Chain A
Amino acid sequence: MSVQNDILEILNQRGQPVKTSELVEALKKPGATIRGETTRLKQKGYIEGDSLEGWVITDAIKEQLEKGELHPSMLDEGVTPRQQFEAIGRRIGIKKDRITLATDIVWSGDFNDVKWVWEALGQADIANDLRNVWVNAWRAKLHKGIPPELETELTGVRKAADEDKTVVPSKPGLSAYIIVDDEPIRVGENLGDYSLQDAKDILTIRALRSRFSGASQAKVASQPVAAEKISDLLTALGPYINKGSDVDTLKELLADKLELQKQDILSKLPQVQNSQPKSFIEQITEFVTVIGSLKESGPLIRSILGVPESHNNPSSTGMAVKLTGPDGQPMTMDLGQVIEWKRFQSEERRADDRLAMMGDLVKTARENVPDGIRAILATVEEVKKGTEAEAKTSPASQEQPQVFSCADCKTNFSPPAGWEGQPLKCPNPECGREYTKEELLA
C-alpha cells in the first residue's frame, strides 16, 4: 500500500484534523516523506488543511476511498523510471537543476541502454566519479551487466592493469585465473588472481611442499590463516623459483622470505624509543597505545608477539601490574582493571565528599532555621510595636483644642484645661461678653 493511500486511510478513519507529526508517528515514516506526500495530496485536491492545524480528507475523495475506486498512479508512488533515476542522482548529492538537465538528456535517448546513459551523463557534464556511481546504480536497478565498452570506465580494472603494465613486464593472460581445488580456473580477463603461468607454478610448489614438509605441513594445515599467508608467499616467490631448483634451495628461499615478512610486520608496530628517559605517565600512555594498536592488529600479530588474548573483559589490556594490597601483601592485577579500580575509587571518594558536604549543609540549616524564624518573628513584633507607637504619637490622633469666636468682637478664645461646661467670658477686655455652654457649642 502506498504512503498516500495510508495517509488517506488514516484521515478517513479519524474523521478530524490530523497533524503531520501524528501521521509520522502513525505511519513510522520519515517526516520529510510525510510532508512531501501531504503536499502532493493537497495539490491534487485530495486533502485540505496544513501541517499545524491538521489535514482533513475531502468529501469526494472520502467517498471514492470507501467505494474502493481510488488507485494511486506510478507517478504518485514515485516509482516511474525517471523518478527512480532522479532519486539516485539526489542520493549521490548532485544539484537539482543538474539532475533535471541530465535526466532530460538521458530521456532523449534510450534510458535502458547503459552505454547511452553513460554518454548522456557525460554530455550533462557530470563529474566522472559521480557519473560512474550514477550509471552503476542505474545499471543495478535495470539488472544489466557492464557493457564491454564501458568495462574500463565503470570498473577501473583495466586502467589499474595498464598501470601495472608500466612497472611489471606484460604477461599473456594476466590475472585471468583463480585456483580452485588445485586446478587453475579461468574466470575472465582481469577478474582472476593469477596468470596461467603463475597458477601452474603455485600448484607445482604446493605439490612439492605437501610431499616434503611432512609433519610441519600438518601443523600448517591446522592453521588456515597461516596457510593462506604461506600461499601468498609462494605466489610472491613464483618469479624467483626455477622449476629445476632442488628442494633444499627452495626451503632456504622460503625460510628467508618468511623471516623477511616477519621483520616487516614487526617493523610496522610502534617501537619504544630509548633515546630519552620518559616519565612514568608517558611510559604508561605509550604502553596503552601500543596495546591498543595490538588489539586492532588482530589475533595473528598477537600470537606472533606472544600477547595473551583477553577473555570477556573489554577493559583488559593483557598487562599484569604488581600492586600492594590493603593487607600489605603484593598482588598482581591487569593494568586495565587497575585503571578502572582507581577510577571507581576516586568516584566513590567524590561521592562521599559530596554527601558529607550536603550533610553539613543540612545540619547547619537545621541548627539555624529555628533561630532565623525566631529572629523574623521578633522583627515582626518590633515592627508592630513601632507602628502602634507611631500611631499614638501622630498629631492626627490627638484631639484638636476647641476654639470659639466671639460673636461681637470676633476674638478667638479657647476654653481652659479641664473645662466642663461652665460659662466663659470673651477675653477681649473691651467686649467681656459672657457665653453659656449651649451658646458656645452652638
Chain B
Amino acid sequence: MISFMQRSAKHFALIKAARQISQEIEKAGLDNLKTLAENGISIVGTYLQGCSPQKKATYRRDLNTLFLIGVTPDMLLSEIARQMPQVAPAMEGKEGYKQSEIKEIKAFIKGV
C-alpha cells in the first residue's frame, strides 16, 4: 500500500515529465504535430528516436525511473494530451493512435 505522499510524488513526476516532453515536441510546430497525428505517425516516438544518443540515454533512464514509481506510458500520453489541448483531439480521436504511441515508448525504453 503506497502512501498519499508517494502517490502525490508519482503524479508530480508525471506532470513534470509530460511538461518537458510537450515543451520539446512543441518546438516542431503545432501544425506539423497535427499532420503527424492525422497520418498515424507517432509524435512522441518520432521525437524520441530523433534525439542525440546522450539525450536518448537520459530520457531512457528518466522514463525507466518513472515507470518504476508507477507511471505508465498510458498515463504519460494522457498527461501530454492534457497539456497540449491543440494536438489532443488529433491524438485521441484517431483509432489505435494511442496504442501505437504506447508501443513506441515501450520500444524506446527497451532500447529497440
A residues with CB within 8 A of B: 371-372, 374-376, 378-379, 382-383
Contact = CB atoms under 8 A, between A and B. Distances in A.
A99 B15 CA distance: 84
* Residue of B4, B12, B16 with most chain A CB atoms under a 10 A cut-off: B12
Contact of A383 (B7, B12, B16, B19): B7
A372 B13 CA distance: 9
Interface in B1-53: 4, 7-12, 14-16, 19
B60 to A, nearest CB: 23
Contacts of A371: 12, 15-16, 19
A372 B8 CA distance: 8
Contacts of A378: 11
23 contacts: A371-B12, A371-B15, A371-B16, A371-B19, A372-B8, A372-B12, A374-B15, A375-B8, A375-B9, A375-B10, A375-B12, A375-B14, A375-B15, A376-B8, A376-B11, A379-B4, A379-B8, A379-B10, A379-B11, A382-B7, A382-B11, A383-B4, A383-B7
A173 to B, nearest CB: 99
B77 to A, nearest CB: 15
Interface of B: 4, 7-12, 14-16, 19
Nearest to A378: B11
A375 B5 CA distance: 10
Contacts of B15: 371, 374-375
A372 B16 CA distance: 10
The 8 closest A-B CB pairs, nearest first, are A375-B11, A375-B12, A379-B7, A378-B11, A379-B8, A371-B15, A375-B8, A376-B8
A378 B4 CA distance: 11
A406 B96 CA distance: 57
A379 to B, nearest CB: 4
A377 to B, nearest CB: 8
B14 to A, nearest CB: 8
Contacts of B11: 374-376, 378-379, 382
A152 B94 CA distance: 119
Given A371-B19, A379-B8, 14 more contacts: A371-B15, A374-B11, A374-B15, A375-B11, A375-B12, A375-B14, A376-B8, A378-B11, A379-B4, A379-B7, A379-B11, A382-B7, A383-B4, A383-B7
A371 B12 CA distance: 6
Nearest to A374: B15
Contacts of B8: 372, 375-376, 379
Nearest to A371: B15
Contacts of A379: 4, 7-8, 10-11
A140 B66 CA distance: 91
Q: Which of B4, B9, B11 has the most CB of A within 10 A?
A: B11
B103 to A, nearest CB: 25
Contacts of B16: 371
A379 B75 CA distance: 13
Contacts of A382: 7, 11
A269 B19 CA distance: 74
A372 B11 CA distance: 8
A360 B12 CA distance: 20
Contacts of B9: 375
A72 B10 CA distance: 83
A382 B70 CA distance: 13
A383 B7 CA distance: 9
A379 B11 CA distance: 7
A372 B19 CA distance: 13
A136 B8 CA distance: 83
B10 to A, nearest CB: 8
Contacts of B10: 375, 379
A382 B72 CA distance: 14
A383 B10 CA distance: 13
A378 B12 CA distance: 9
A58 B11 CA distance: 75
A378 B9 CA distance: 11
A378 B75 CA distance: 12
B8 to A, nearest CB: 5
Contacts of B4: 379, 383
A313 B12 CA distance: 59
Contacts of B7: 379, 382-383
B48 to A, nearest CB: 22
Nearest to B4: A379
Nearest to B19: A371
A392 B105 CA distance: 33
B19 to A, nearest CB: 7
A375 B19 CA distance: 13
A9 to B, nearest CB: 66
A374 B82 CA distance: 12
